[in-house]
Amino acid sequence: MTFAFHTLGCKLNFAESSALGKTLAARGHMRVAKGMAPDLCIVNTCSVTDAADHKDRQAIRRLRRQYPEAILIVTGCYAQLRPGEVADIPGVDYVLGMHEKFDIPAFVEHLEQQHEAVHAGNIREVETFCGARSKDDRTRCFLKVQDGCNYFCTYCTIPLARGKSRNPSIASLVEELRQALDDGAREIVLTGVNIGDFGRTTGERFIDLLRALDTLTTNDQLPTTDYRIRISSCEPNLLSDEIIEFVAHSRHFAPHFHIPLQSGSNEVLKIMHRRYTRELFQERVAHIRSVMPGAFIGVDCMVGVRGETEEYWEDYLQFISALPVSQLHVFTYSERRNTRMLEMDLYVVPQKERERRSRILHRVSEEKLQAFYAAHRGETGVVLWEAKRVAATPEHPSESGWLMEGWTENYIRVCRPYDKARINTFEQVVI
């Protein structure tokens, strides 16, 4: 049977799709050739916002029109949260919830015995961790180290879609890293839902995982200096001073942090049931800047949540504008069913005002990013060249008309004329 995945949403979803694809291939199925129609089409969905749900539905309908004869399976967060709604979309054959996603290889081998369209259990009862590792179309590998969340912020459905916080052992992840390096990966991104919460299943600590991954000895053909690791989003209350100090003096961890702020107003943070204040967040940023002045710091920001009055918004805007971070990842709040925020008697920000605030933060983000790039122009950095070809520009000319790009350790994008021999290699460059 030939198969194709269509994945939406986070890097965790992409890692899981990749792992499932490898398992299907190991069982004798084949990825569909480009331009051909698959026998099986699997849609791995996201449901972080209403917009994500809309994109899911659009993708499902488009794929059904494109591949009318294919068996269509929908899985992921949207399928877990709204299985009946997904099943009602014309053309959907099967709906598999979040835990059932990992049964897809066995499920498709017994399709003739599948009489129910919806297979979605209570994800909050799941205790097992299903690992995933994926190499994207460039050079980095996404390694899943944790799943689920116990926080239940008032605006968020992720605990309902992903279940309880759980993780594998450090020993197993060290072996996963070793295999990824043997497979040719040179940059590893640690990913999960709430990775700083690592250890709930095994009684280990996130800092101990980082230390173990940093001291890995690889084979003789790969020097231990020839790989680097990035940490994906980590909650500020879990990004301890110990972790920051470790990254600053580690051998392989990049000076790159992604920290969710969500709001710069303490009053709104309380409404959201976040587990920190803006003062703690500010302390974390200041500590990073003190020990790693050139570190890239990305920040998740949400606008327009219920209770974000004009006064709180202005306070938030002043705070984030003054914060010495590198880039903002801006999300516009949308009401999610089964969240506690809908039960609270709060000021509702009009949709147009939410969009206006989003545009303002996007402008702030661009200003910060350009300032970060300008501050490092002329410095040296180590870039890992990627395989993807991009068109040359007047600013970046190339005789062949093509460029290759890569990222420095502190996440600055660098371009040069395309050279296949440089793919997946590190090179020191002047930024």
246 within 8 A of 210, measured Cβ to Cβ: yes
Q: Which two tokens stand for residue 281?
A: 């967040």
Residue 79: pLDDT above 50?
Answer: yes
358-374 tens-digit pLDDT: 999 999 999 999 999 99
89, 121, 153 - which closes a domain = 121
Instruction: Label residue 183 by pLDDT band (50, 70, 90).
Output: confident
Residue 351: pLDDT above 70?
Answer: yes
Is residue 184 one of the residues assigned to a domain?
Answer: yes
362 and 329: one domain? Answer: yes
Distance CA 54, CA 57 (A): 5
pLDDT value, residue 217: 60
Instruction: Label residue 407 by pLDDT band (50, 70, 90).
Output: very high
Task: Determine phi and psi for 71, rounding to 5 degrees.
Answer: -75, 125
Q: Which two tokens stand for residue 278?
A: 């803006």
Task: Determine phi and psi for 420, rounding to 5 degrees.
Answer: -55, -30
In this structure, what is the dihedral angle of CA atoms 156, 161, 165, 171, given to the nearest 10 degrees? -130
**Cross-sheet strand order for the sheet of 327-332:** 256-262, 296-303, 327-332
CA distances from 283 to 189, 206, 268, 278 (A): 25, 20, 19, 9
74 and 165: one domain? Answer: no
95, 121, 147 - which closes a domain = 121
Question: How does 391-413 read in b/e, with b if 16+ C-beta sit within 10 Å?
Answer: ebeeeeebeeeebbbbbbbbbbe
61, 94, 121 - which closes a domain = 121
Distance CA 198, CA 211 (A): 13
Is residue 23 one of the residues assigned to a domain?
Answer: yes
Range with the poorest average pLDDT among 193-207, 279-293, 302-316, 384-398:
384-398
Question: How does 174-194 read in b/e, with b if 16+ C-beta sit within 10 Å?
Answer: eebbbebbeeebbbbbbbbbb
Q: Which amino acid is at 309?
A: T
| Model pTM score | 0.93
3-state secondary structure of 328: strand
DSSP letter for each residue of 17-42:
HHHHHHHHHHTT-EEPPTTSPPSEEE
Is residue 73 one of the residues assigned to a domain?
Answer: yes
- The residue-averaged pLDDT of 22-31 equals 94
358 and 251: one domain? Answer: yes
Instruction: Label residue 429 by pLDDT band (50, 70, 90).
Output: very high
267 and 137: one domain? Answer: yes
Q: Which two tokens stand for residue 47?
A: 């449901």
Q: Which two tokens stand for residue 224?
A: 């231990």
358 within 8 A of 328, measured Cβ to Cβ: no
56 and 22: one domain? Answer: yes
CA 71 to mean position of chain CA atoms = 28
Residue 223: pLDDT above 70?
Answer: no
Instruction: Label residue 134 by pLDDT band (50, 70, 90).
Output: confident
Q: Which two tokens stand for residue 267?
A: 């009053």
147 and 243: one domain? Answer: yes
227 within 8 A of 186, measured Cβ to Cβ: yes
Is residue 127 one of the residues assigned to a domain?
Answer: no
CB within 8 Å of 206: residues ≥ 6 apart: 195, 196, 197, 198, 199, 238, 243
pLDDT value, residue 138: 58
Is residue 346 one of the residues assigned to a domain?
Answer: yes
334 and 402: one domain? Answer: no
Distance CA 235, CA 404 (A): 33
Is residue 221 one of the residues assigned to a domain?
Answer: yes
331 and 389: one domain? Answer: no
363 and 264: one domain? Answer: yes
Is residue 333 one of the residues assigned to a domain?
Answer: yes
- The residue-averaged pLDDT of 3-21 equals 94
pLDDT value, residue 220: 45
Instruction: Label residue 61 by pLDDT band (50, 70, 90).
Output: very high
Q: Which two tokens stand for residue 123?
A: 């994800």
pLDDT value, residue 173: 97
Percentage, residues of the chain above pLDDT 90 = 89
150 and 170: one domain? Answer: yes
Is residue 126 one of the residues assigned to a domain?
Answer: no
Q: Which two tokens stand for residue 182?
A: 């043997």
Q: Which residues pair with residue 30 across a beta bridge?
A: 2
Residue 137: pLDDT above 80?
Answer: no
Q: Which two tokens stand for residue 238?
A: 């879990």
159 and 198: one domain? Answer: yes
Q: What is the CATH number of the domain that holds 250?
A: 3.80.30.20
Supply the range of the domain harboring residue 229.
133-374
pLDDT value, residue 135: 72
Residue 96: pLDDT above 90?
Answer: yes
Q: What is the CATH number of the domain that holds 25?
A: 3.40.50.12160
331 within 8 A of 303, measured Cβ to Cβ: yes
143 and 109: one domain? Answer: no
CB within 8 Å of 204: residues ≥ 6 apart: 167, 169, 170, 198
382 within 8 A of 409, measured Cβ to Cβ: yes
Residue 222: pLDDT above 50?
Answer: no
pLDDT value, residue 119: 94
287-334 tens-digit pLDDT: 999 999 999 999 999 999 999 999 999 999 999 999 999 999 999 999
Tally the domains of the chain. 3
